[in-house]
Structure 1
């Protein structure tokens, strides 16, 4: 499971789903920044995000509060998309598109207000975003593969094919070290976001 060969095999099997996750996310950004964006849904999502920021600002230790809120939220969601991706991979796909929509809508609104979007990306997104998004894509990739291999396993069993469940079992085995990697990376990303990003944006 944790051998170099096992990890490499797991990555090779999930790589296409990782790329698919990246494409879905950036497609969401494009749609979120367009005139066809679902404004009411996105506004409600942004209110939830602002509540986290407000809770951190009102705390006696804003950096620590922000770290705890961000880390707990991101790690919980990543575990959820990896596990519940078993339902045909729907939840990871929805989460990727939704997050892309929110980011695209937010950046579009900032641009419309005449602010420097690229400066915001460099100061407010890149420091922690590279780590956070990489972990999100990996978690969603495993979630989608869980759903796909489950469907193939059921179909293969119905058709009497042997070893139809092996891809699903390999995905489950590979998800254990992947979950550890995702958790550690999100933990680091939360530290960066609650310190470096917080300082740059303040």
Structure 2
């Protein structure tokens, strides 16, 4: 399971889903960055939740530690949930990627409209931790989508008498164990960076 050969094989199988996860997220960013009054209510509700979290962190006696705990628990919970619930036809991870991408696109569009330097904001406020966290999210969602697809293939393959119809699903389940470890480690590292380096860079 943890041999180099098995890990490379697992990556080969999950790579198309990983790439698709990246595409879904950035497609969501494009949608979110495009003015759309019909989605304004959705975005505002999301921003209220983000603002509430930001306020609780900034008013804490130890903002860095509060940020680390909240970011870690939230990211790990959501990513693992998307990974597991992807078994339902891969819908949950796909929705999570698009919706989060939309919120990100909407935020960046808003900062740009307000005259902010979006490039600097991305470099200072997103890239330091985003590379780690997004890699974990893409990997988790990729496994979630593959779970759903291989489950459907297994069901229909069995129904039509196909031999070894469940092999892809079993391989996905086995490969998800080291992937889950990688997801948690990446999210932990991302939370450390976000609650320290990013917090310091974005401090007024």
After TM superposition, the score normalised by the length of structure 1 is: 0.99
Q: 1:8-23 counterparts in 2 under 5 A?
A: 8-23=8-23
| 1:186 paired residue number | 187
In structure 2, what is the Cα distance between the partners aligned to 1:6 and 1:47? 44
| 1:164 paired residue number | 165
Give the C-alpha shift of residue 36 in structure 1: 2.7
| 2:47 paired residue number | 46
Give the C-alpha shift of residue 42 in structure 1: 1.1
| 2:154 paired residue number | 153
| 1:78 paired residue number | 79
In structure 2, what is the Cα distance between the partners aligned to 1:25 and 1:49? 19
Does residue 27 of structure 1 match 2:34? Answer: no
| 2:5 paired residue number | 5
SS in 2 for 1:46: helix
Give the C-alpha shift of residue 116 in structure 1: 0.7
Give the C-alpha shift of residue 39 in structure 1: 1.1
| 1:130 paired residue number | 131
In structure 1, what is the Cα distance between the partners aligned to 2:58 and 2:43? 23
Unpaired segments of 5 or more residues in structure 1?
Answer: none
Give the C-alpha shift of residue 53 in structure 1: 1.1
Please report the RMSD computed on the Cα atoms of aligned residues, expressed in angstroms.
Answer: 0.7
SS in 2 for 1:119: helix
For residues 8-36 of structure 1, give each alpha carbon's deviation from its aligned partner in whole angstroms, at most 9, with x where no partner exists: 11100000000000000000000000023
SS in 2 for 1:86: coil
SS in 1 for 2:125: helix
In structure 2, what is the Cα distance between the partners aligned to 1:111 and 1:102? 14
SS in 2 for 1:115: coil
In structure 2, what is the Cα distance between the partners aligned to 1:182 and 1:50? 26
In structure 2, what is the Cα distance between the partners aligned to 1:36 and 1:17? 29
| 1:87 paired residue number | 88
Give the C-alpha shift of residue 49 in structure 1: 1.2
| 2:112 paired residue number | 111
SS in 2 for 1:59: coil
Give the C-alpha shift of residue 50 in structure 1: 1.4
